[in-house]
């Protein structure tokens, strides 16, 4: 798993995947997860990118995006970001 920096192409992909409906509860923070293909010039083939979109409570639009390249097609994007969060916790624990 490789965490990617935000760039215009990735953000554009994420914004096109987010769908807004009347069923959204805008009083609560919301996270949405997606998969997409992504390729940079130095890669020989496209990779699967996991996308996490976040909308804070009381805001209308998803504005915070996180991206990670994954090597496992069968992992859900939500699982990818849960593993990434746990990896960060493990690193902090190891430093102590």
Query: Which residue intervals of the chain are DSSP H helices?
Result: 8-17, 77-95
CA end-to-end distance (rounded Å), the chain = 24
Q: What is the rounded CA–CA span in Å between residue 85 and residue 64? A: 16
Confidence of residue 3 (pLDDT cuts 50, 70, 90): confident
What residue segments make up the domains of the chain, in order of their start? 2-95
What is the structure's pLDDT at 88? 56
- Say whether pLDDT at 15 is over 50: yes
Residue 90 pLDDT class (50, 70, 90 cuts): very low
| pLDDT for 24 beyond 60 | yes
Listed in sequence order, the residues at least 6 apart from 88 whose beta carbon sits closer than 8 Å to its beta carbon are: none
pLDDT higher for 70 or 53? 53
Would you state the pLDDT for residue 75? 86
């Amino acid at each position: 798993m490789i965490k990617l920096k935000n760039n215009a192409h990735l953000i554009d992909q994420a914004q096109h995947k987010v769908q807004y409906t009347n069923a959204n509860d805008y009083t609560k923070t919301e996270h949405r997860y997606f998969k997409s293909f992504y390729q940079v010039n130095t890669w020989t083939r496209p990779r699967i990118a996991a996308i996490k979109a976040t909308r804070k409570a009381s805001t209308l639009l998803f504005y915070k995006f996180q991206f990670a390249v994954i090597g496992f097609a069968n992992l859900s994007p939500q699982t990818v970001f849960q593993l990434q969060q746990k990896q960060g916790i493990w690193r902090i624990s190891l430093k102590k």
